[in-house]
Amino acid sequence: MDMNQLMQTFLAESRDLLEDMERHLLEAERGEPSPDAVNAIFRAAHTIKGSGGLFDLPQLVGFTHVVESVLDLVRDEALSLSSELIGLLLVCCDHIHALVETAADPSHADPVALAAEAEPLLAQLQTYLQRSACGVTAAAVAQGAPEKQSGYWRITLKLFADALRFGNSPLKLIRNLRSLGSVESITTDISQLPAFDDLDPEANYLGFQILLRSDADRAAIEEVFEFVREDCDLEIVSVPAPSDAAELLSAEAA
């Protein structure tokens, strides 16, 4: 399957997922949503975000990531799916649909207008995220809980040789990691690189060791690689911070 076919599959699946999201949200307006419905809404946003990352669609990934974060709070019962929030999410679905259609036909895209449309929606979504964060912080203070610190993760990634032919780019994955925190360093493993005359320009020979500073947990980091998990060797390890972590990364790469 070439990249054009993959893109057409992505577009069709995204449209179907958006229809499912809207249907579940409209049903939720008429009554108490079931956990299954909430999970379906979350998974739709999560899948669109993940697939968009594979096609290097930063506006789609960034916007849908914020929607997904709000839905994750609803799923964890940290936020209620109020009629106000349902209305906002329905408008967000319309915006995601516009971003998907922009990917379908970039020649008619107006990124400035799309960014202007996204701005007030993101501001409203952020109020829900901040409201929840304030509640969590207050509870933590009341219980005497320590402030959460950023952690350091060593991520060892080696996409299989055929991965590039299926549109799996390590650079896109690294860009998506940056949405979780700061990529402190990257070491490239060239040990599998053949002689120049034996190079296949469509094959992947490189591995990467990445030092990520993030307060995300292992599950959130693994989600970045969800769509390539069967096409790579992947290791995610928590490491000491901060200079010790860099030394450990250098030692492991040596």
Convert the pLDDT of each residue in 164-175 to its tens digit: 777 777 877 888
**159 has which bridge partners?**
232
pLDDT tens track for 117-132? 999 999 999 888 877 5
Average pLDDT across the chain, whole number: 82
Task: Evaluate whether 212 touches 181 at the Cβ level (below 8 Å).
Answer: yes
CA 130/CA 144 separation, integer angstroms: 21
Average pLDDT over residues 64-84: 88
Find where tokens 């007030």 sit: 120
CA-to-CA distance for 250 and 66, rounded, in angstroms?
A: 34
**pLDDT above 70 as % of the chain:** 86
Specify the pLDDT at position 140.
44
Tell which wins on pLDDT, 19 or 69.
19
Separation of alpha carbons 39 and 21, rounded Å: 10
211 vs 124: CA distance, rounded Å: 33
19: helix, coil or strand? helix
Query: Kind of pairing, strands 181-189 and 232-239?
Result: unpaired
